[in-house]
Chain A
Amino acid sequence: MESIVVDGVTKRFTLRHAHSIKEMTVRAARRQSLSERFTALDEVSVTVEQGESLALMGLNGSGKSTLLKLISGVMQPDGGSVGVRGRVAGLIEVGAGLHPDLTGRENIFLNAAILGMSKAETEAKYDEIVAFSEIEKFLDTQVKFYSSGMFMRLGFAVAVHTDPDIFLVDEVLAVGDPPFQKKCLDRIEELHDEGRTLVIVSHDMGTLEKVCGRGVVLREGRVAFEGDIADAVDFLAPPDSPLDAARRQRGREEAKLAAATLKEEKAAATETATLIEEIMPDAPAFADPQATLEHALSLAEGQEGMALEFGVFSGRTLRTITAARDGKNVFGFDSFEGLPEDWREGFPVGTFAVDEPPEVLGAELVVGLFDDTLPGFLEEHPEPVAFLHVDADLYSSARTVLHHAGPRLRPGSVIVFDEFFGYPGWRDHEYRAWTEYVERTGLRFTYEGYTRDNEQAIVRITE
């Protein structure tokens, strides 16, 4: 469904050369024209779909800003028609509605009202706006004493928190310092994700390629090109050389990949949060993996039996375990040749290989693939397993470990999974091995904690 329909729009301006009677007489006497017509837009037609993000591009004076003003209703077309669906809000030069004599707080309410928000709406968003603008300390200061950056931030913060269906952005992405710019961009992408329609005017091609899907290039008031944003950028600013073209191509592919990864990571984080809410709503969250491991070790304190770690790598966590278990019955398993198969993106076969097994005082290392070493080891050591640290990353490894060492777990035994969830593909690895094992054996257990915004989880066997 279309959100903005610009249909054959023409906009002319009259440039008056003479303003006073004297000037008019002089120009008339010299037979010069008193005014000149200037066509800013000539039969321009553009349609923007609901939820689309359109880049409006062109050189200075090509009519971009005029088109934006026609869409916002600030100006009226001389020919053709403009139609919009829903509320339009603009970042057409932020800060236009700010009044220097009012304080930051008063300006937030005034500017929000100018942009069409009610008092209740403003109050509901007030804290968000203040947090976004980063001017908490100066809220009761008159805006005229603000630095230009603070001024722009305040204006932008209000504008991006209005609740429009269509959002017009005119060359304001250059607001403030780089961190603030990034924040603005993130917010604009957020607005896009919420399904709002965006029209962005900018000369910053990189930003446009990042945010927009389609581009319209205006030239002397006419649509010169319309199509995919990358093609629009190349149309407006053709690559200097084949090398440049290739570089752009590479950049775009990388950006696409990075964006996809970011999206996957976000999705994984969201799914993980849902899972935590579902299966361990009351489990404590720890700030970092070390804190999680230490908590798990404290749970296993006094539990008779061996402490096993699968995936020793540099030996750092094994040292923590050894210290907590007083150096008794602690074993570390690793081939030290790295992952035996590909794990997730960025962790191919061989990752985590080390030249030489580390020295861990008080722990005994069992070198080799778990499949080869574990059965024999368990035959030699008939004790129960009190503490299990599964840090082998892969589904196959976790399954092997649980298959062999699982039967030695006793009520009170503690398992720490090091890559339980929180990354793209987590459902296919340790999490899967664990849920399959539980399903197969009917083992009873409780979740005792996890690391916030990370990947570790603690399990304690109950019977």
Chain B
Amino acid sequence: MHELTLVQSMITKISESAAIQGIQHISRINLVNGKFSGANTEALLLAFSLFKDIPLFKNAALEIEEPEIIAMCNSCHKEFIVEAYLFRCAYCSQNNVKIASGQELYINYYEGE
């Protein structure tokens, strides 16, 4: 549901940047949506399709990367990939872990002319 708000924010940020850069047509947007960001990639793509009548975004392809959830163990200090939302160290089985990455949601870059 809130993906529309998020895509709206993406459209605003890119439009502002494109105006400064003098870019009139965007061809590609690279978005990073970590697997634990809470935003759904399919819903982001659907929401983006609603903005395609804006001339700046008419031919823009939205690519979304989905980096894994990486956690760090507070006991053995090793990093591991969190599978199936199991926040338990893959090396020492402790549950006292902190999330290192995978919650990010940001525009990485865009291309246009």
User: Real complex partners, A and B?
Assistant: no
Interface residues of A (CB under 8 A from B): none
Interface residues of B (CB under 8 A from A): none
